[in-house]
Chain A
Amino acid sequence: MSGDFSRSLWRENPFLIYLVGLCPALAVSTRLVNALLLGAAMLFALLGTGIVGGALERFLPPRWHLPVRLLVASALVTACDRFLSVFAPALHAGLGIYLPLLAVNCLLLGSAGRGGRPFGETALEALGMGAAFTVGLTLLALLRELLGAGTITLFPMGSFRGVLRIPGLAGQPARLLAAAPGALLALGYLSALGRWARPGRKGS
């Protein structure tokens, strides 16, 4: 079981290797803090949707599976959205419409029709996928922010305003990486790197 976990985290990272669940993630990967927040929201939504949706699926005919997942996911994502807008309005504004968009994410809806399994299995799978999504997105955001803006943005704490400027990079950033094309290019090369470095399955 823990083998499953580490496999989905790196060797078969759904985000980096199979490139699913991209839509909300690409656009906000300009700052590290966005990636961490979106990752946390995704983890929460995956766990909740997996458990609640999976439990409901036992009682419903197959054609209801996807709509029910969609509704459960939208309720959980709304909860995340409200929570963040109350406790961290500035960070919430940085995510814009891309946090609510998690509700139709393929990672969340892709598990429709796979309900009725043991609780532990569902939870572990959700944790693995959520962690993999967060790790992949964090790598992408780190790359884009470091090279595209020369900064690293974390949570503001006390007198620390949350932005680290990297000397040497902050002066002349490669702004393309911070713009929309940069997200696609950076993820493309990151994913190629992930495939190249994957132990065992070099070919195919």
Chain B
Amino acid sequence: MSAVGIILTFTFVNNVVLGQLLGVCPILGLPRRPALRLGLMPAAAMPAAALASWAVRRLVLVPLGLESLQLIALCLVLALFVLLPDGGKAGWNLPVTNCAVLGVGLLTAGSGVLGSLVTGLAAGAGYLLAAVVFSGLRERLEMERAPRALHGLPLYLVTAGLMSMAFLAFDRVLLARLAG
């Protein structure tokens, strides 16, 4: 797949959150205000995870014939990252234990270094897009009256479902035409 194709696929057509349903819980639980800042950390971790996944596979797993241990190797990388000194900001590196981050690392298995990097960047952009749009929707939802049982998380889920339905409109053919 070409770079443009990868970007369109992972950001719009098959958005990490809304199409592949990765990282739904962190998005649902996002506080209202700093959506951009909180979404940025996992989004930045995605290309890093894709690159780390490529490097670990290429330099360690394939030479040793241990491809089946990919998950453990990736989790080891994430665990090391969580152990980094926190520089006074407690918990800043926790968002990397996010299914979307690990998912991107797993999805890029088999791509080259450039393919992995582009996939990671596109997935990160898709995550950020979903996070920002959803937090905006959530802010509006706070002002709406809803049945008691739906109040809170169920309502957020239904809203995310409607958003995901809107993303169904990004169909590969349409985007191919837009991109010329």
Contact = CB atoms under 8 A, between A and B. Distances in A.
B41 interface: no
B179 interface: no
B83 interface: yes
Nearest to A74: B75
A70 B25 contact: no
A104 B99 contact: yes
B154 A189 contact: yes
Given A106-B25, A184-B158, A71 B168 contact: no
Interface in B1-49: 18-25, 28
A180 B149 contact: no
B82 A191 contact: no
B99 A23 contact: yes
Contact of A180 (B18, B68, B101, B156): B18
A188 B75 contact: no
B97 A104 contact: yes
B149 A188 contact: no
A182 interface: yes
28 contacts: A22-B25, A23-B99, A24-B99, A66-B94, A70-B79, A71-B76, A73-B75, A74-B72, A74-B75, A74-B76, A75-B72, A81-B71, A82-B68, A101-B22, A101-B102, A103-B71, A103-B75, A180-B164, A181-B161, A181-B165, A183-B21, A184-B160, A188-B154, A188-B156, A189-B154, A192-B154, A192-B155, A196-B149
